[in-house]
């Protein structure tokens, strides 16, 4: 093994993974860290987890290690617990024919690590490493990392017919790593793209979300694959994807990026990506893609703010404080959530590439002073309206909304007696 690779791996390989490989070797077997953790280590990235491949069979793995979980014995996988951390150990295997574009009809265990690597999706994920042997790279993964290419292992048509989701995964890796999809691999994707319709939406959703997280602009490849309309109901607009890509940079530029707000960040990106849809179709598409109710609610509310022309001028530095506060209160009313309202405000500034800090003092003043932007903040409630025999039934809700509109424009009027007078004089159509 060359000194350069030794320097990359020796200090970086996880201690628990090292321990497992050493224990396997003590018992006459071999083990390698494989796949994404090898790729990420070579690229100087921190792996999320460490997968291990071994020539030991599942029953032999369970005999060697004290704490094990038989997570997928039929496919050769056993989870080993080391210091409360889970490590997946999978026996080298050769897959049989794939019958459902996901699962092989049969699995045959092997003694050769190269057999195991040859069944993997892309060359950059088909490398293995241990201290004794070094790096096993029979399919050119290192070269493809160097050249920033996503390339299938072996015949791309075979790989994509084993699991059609790999086509979306290629887009996701392109987004995550900033790599180009190699030409033969991409031509095979174009040829086999219709098979995406045979894959469960839940699996597709996971890959889409990762792509949106890393680089929404990469989704334009789905237009070329002719599957955007199947997934989103429309062909994706390049300009919308470019704006969605700007979100992370914008938030960091103004010190607004928060790791614990990733759900909101992705919701904002989705709102930009699908801005051309109307709200009803947006919700239907998100339901079809199996998004949670929370994700649908966040995305649709942000999308609604983007679609409303009345908010176009919130970025105007010459707008008066009173006008801007009114606009902010309407956004708070329409989103019903402080954080969501902030992201709705950010959306308008991202579109215009403007500094959002012009809104911060007004936003904070509204919250700190308790200015009203919700019917729950009105000094007169539905019970008061009924007890004063002003309205009943559905008319109560109409009247509360009318009062809210009035108070948003006239914050000093949020007093019970003033609102009672307003309510008594208000004519419900």
What is the residue extent of each domain of the chain?
Answer: 15-144, 148-212, 309-369, 375-425
Would the CA dihedral through 97, 101, 106, 111 be positive or negative?
positive
Beta-carbon-side half-sphere exposure of residue 202 (alpha carbons within 13 Å): 1
Q: Domain 15-144 is in which class?
A: alpha beta
- Three-state SS annotation for 145-209: HHCCEECECCCHHHHHHHCCHHHHHHHHHHHHHCCEECHHHHHHHHHHHHHHHHCCHHHHHHHHH
**pLDDT per residue over 312-363, tens digit each?**
889 988 889 999 999 999 999 999 999 999 999 999 999 988 999 889 889 9
Per-residue pLDDT tens for 253-304?
999 999 999 999 999 999 999 999 999 999 999 999 999 999 999 999 999 9
Query: What per-residue confidence (pLDDT) applies to 302?
Result: 97
> Does residue 10 surpass a pLDDT of 70?
no
Strands 149-150 and 77-82: unpaired
Closest to 125 (Cα-Cα) out of 218, 222, 47, 211: 47
pLDDT at residue 102, as a whole number: 65
pLDDT exceeds 70 at position 389: yes
Mean pLDDT over all residues of the chain? 92
**Does residue 429 register a pLDDT over 90?**
no
Checking if the pLDDT of 6 tops 70, the result is no
Instruction: For 63-109, write each residue's pLDDT tens digit.
Output: 999 999 998 888 889 999 999 999 999 999 987 677 766 666 777 88
Confirm whether 15-144 and 148-212 share one CATH topology: no
Give per-residue pLDDT as tens, 167-186.
Answer: 999 999 999 999 999 999 99
Task: State mean pLDDT over 405-427.
Answer: 93
- Residue among 378, 373, 377, 379 at smallest CA distance from 326: 373
> Cα–Cα distance between 5 and 14 in angstroms, integer?
16
Rounded to the nearest 10 degrees, the angle between the axes of helix 338-352 and helix 360-369 is 160
Fold classification of 148-212 is: Hydrophobic Seed Protein (1.10.110)
Please give the pLDDT value at position 2.
Answer: 55
Q: Could you tell me what percent of the chain has a pLDDT over 90?
A: 83
């Amino acid at each position: 093994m060359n000194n350069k690779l030794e320097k990359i791996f020796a200090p970086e390989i996880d201690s628990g993974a090292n321990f497992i490989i050493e224990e396997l070797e003590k018992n006459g077997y071999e083990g390698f860290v494989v796949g994404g953790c090898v790729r990420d280590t070579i690229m100087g990235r921190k792996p999320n987890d460490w997968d291990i491949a071994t020539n030991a069979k599942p029953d032999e793995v369970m005999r060697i290690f004290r704490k094990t979980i038989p997570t997928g014995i039929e496919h050769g996988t056993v989870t080993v617990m080391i210091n409360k951390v889970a490590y997946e150990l999978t026996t080298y295997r050769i897959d049989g024919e794939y019958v459902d574009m996901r699962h092989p009809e049969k699995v045959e265990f092997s003694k050769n690590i190269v057999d195991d690597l040859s069944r993997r999706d892309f060359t950059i994920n088909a490398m293995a490493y241990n201290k004794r042997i070094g790096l096993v790279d029979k399919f050119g993964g290192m070269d493809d990392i160097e050249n920033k290419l996503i390339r299938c292992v072996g015949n791309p048509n075979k790989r994509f017919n084993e699991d059609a989701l790999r086509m979306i995964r290629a887009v996701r890796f392109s987004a995550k790593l900033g790599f180009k999809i190699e030409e033969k691999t991409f031509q095979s994707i174009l040829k086999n793209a219709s098979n995406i319709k045979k894959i469960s939406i839940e699996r597709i959703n996971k890959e889409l979300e990762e792509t949106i997280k890393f680089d929404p602009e990469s989704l334009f490849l789905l237009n070329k694959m002719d599957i955007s309309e199947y997934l989103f109901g429309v062909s994706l607009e390049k300009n919308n994807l470019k704006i969605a890509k700007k979100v992370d940079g914008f938030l960091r530029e103004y010190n607004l990026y928060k790791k614990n707000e990733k759900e909101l960040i992705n919701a904002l990106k989705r709102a930009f990506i699908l801005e051309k849809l109307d709200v009803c179709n947006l919700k239907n598409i998100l339901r079809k893609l199996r998004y949670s109710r929370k994700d649908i609610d966040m995305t649709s509310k942000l999308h609604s703010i983007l679609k409303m022309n009345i908010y176009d001028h919130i970025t105007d530095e010459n707008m008066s404080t009173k006008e801007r506060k009114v606009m902010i209160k309407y956004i708070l009313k329409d989103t019903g959530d402080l954080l969501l309202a902030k992201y709705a405000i950010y959306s308008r500034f991202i579109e215009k590439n403007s500094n959002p800090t012009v809104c911060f003092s007004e936003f904070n003043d509204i919250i700190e002073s308790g200015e009203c932007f919700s019917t729950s903040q009105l000094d007169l409630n539905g019970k008061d309206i009924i007890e004063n025999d002003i309205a009943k039934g559905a008319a109560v809700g109409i009247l509360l909304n009318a009062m809210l509109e009035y108070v948003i424009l006239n914050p000093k009027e949020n007093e019970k007696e003033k609102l009672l007078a307003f309510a008594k004089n208000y004519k419900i159509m």
